[in-house]
């Protein structure tokens, strides 16, 4: 009786094993592709990226990365010769010796040959000149007095730390005032036409293009 019981148990075990496909083909079919995610210096979250830029004089560009996969995978990088790249477990440090543009190519591959690739076009740029915006407002009760306002002017480099540091006001080509405040009040002396201009300077001492408006007092 024990002999038959043993044979029955052995037969059941053989059937269970034969029903399970333990071949590498099975695991390869079930395998999910790895995914590379990155976070640049001005990103809040990890994600995919195709291009980014950084100001050349702000130093190295640091790109954090992670690889989503069941295995612990390594990252390989190829890059434009204009860049010098250092890679560690969490981040990629990209250096450049001049203003330039080039490509980073990130790659990873798992045991079964499934892979992911990300190409990022990276630009190291120089200073961007500030942009002047001029508004002229009436002063209630004072016909010849105006508020000349440059407060909406901006520096395109603001997210890299750039800022406007000086405002220049001109009337009919003559500099009236140069100061750190973005607006001034000016009383025009008489009827006639006036050319009102402003110009702004950023923290790298680069001036914007002058912008102007024409005023007419009858």
Contact 111, 103 (CB under 8 A): no
Give the per-residue pLDDT at 134: 98
What mean pLDDT do residues 151-172 have? 94
Q: Do 33-125 and 135-217 share a fold? A: yes
Give the per-residue pLDDT at 148: 97
pLDDT tens, position by position, 21-40: 555 555 556 778 999 999 99
Domain assignments of the chain as residue spans, ordered by start = 33-125, 135-217
What are 6's two structure tokens? Answer: 């043993």
Distance CA 140, CA 149 (A): 16
Distance CA 36, CA 48 (A): 8
Mean pLDDT computed over every residue of the chain = 89
The CATH H-level superfamily of 33-125 is Cadherins (2.60.40.60)
For residue 158, give the 3-state DSSP assignment. helix
Whether 17 has a pLDDT exceeding 70, the answer reads no
For residue 18, give the 3-state DSSP assignment. helix
Read off the pLDDT band of 184 (50, 70, 90): very high
Whether 216 has a pLDDT exceeding 90, the answer reads yes
- Domain 135-217 classification at class level: mainly beta
Give the per-residue pLDDT at 13: 53
Give the per-residue pLDDT at 23: 53
pLDDT tens, position by position, 59-103: 899 999 999 999 999 999 999 999 999 999 899 999 999 999 999
Read off the pLDDT band of 8 (50, 70, 90): low
Phi, psi of 165 (to 5 degrees): -120, -15
Give the per-residue pLDDT at 41: 87
């Amino acid at each position: 009786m024990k002999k038959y019981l043993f044979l029955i148990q052995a037969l059941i075990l053989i059937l269970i094993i034969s029903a399970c496909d333990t071949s590498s083909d099975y695991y390869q079919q079930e395998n999910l592709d790895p995914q590379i995610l990155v976070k640049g210096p001005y990103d809040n979250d990890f994600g995919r990226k195709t291009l980014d830029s950084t100001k050349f004089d702000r130093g190295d560009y640091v790109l954090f990365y992670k690889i989503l996969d069941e295995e612990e995978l390594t990252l390989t990088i190829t890059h434009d010769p204009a860049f010098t790249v250092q890679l560690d477990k969490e981040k990629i440090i990209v250096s450049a010796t001049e203003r330039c543009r080039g490509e980073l190519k990130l790659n990873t591959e798992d045991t079964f040959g499934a892979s992911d690739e990300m190409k990022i076009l990276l630009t190291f740029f120089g200073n961007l000149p500030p942009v002047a915006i001029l508004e002229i407002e009436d002063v209630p009760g004072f016909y010849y007095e105006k508020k000349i306002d440059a407060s909406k002017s901006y520096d395109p480099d603001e997210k890299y730390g750039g800022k406007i540091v000086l405002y220049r006001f001109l009337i009919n080509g003559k500099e009236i005032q140069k100061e750190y405040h973005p607006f001034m009040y000016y009383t025009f002396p008489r009827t006639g036409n006036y050319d009102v201009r402003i110009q702004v300077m950023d923290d790298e001492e680069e001036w914007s293009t002058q912008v102007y408006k024409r005023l007419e007092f009858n």
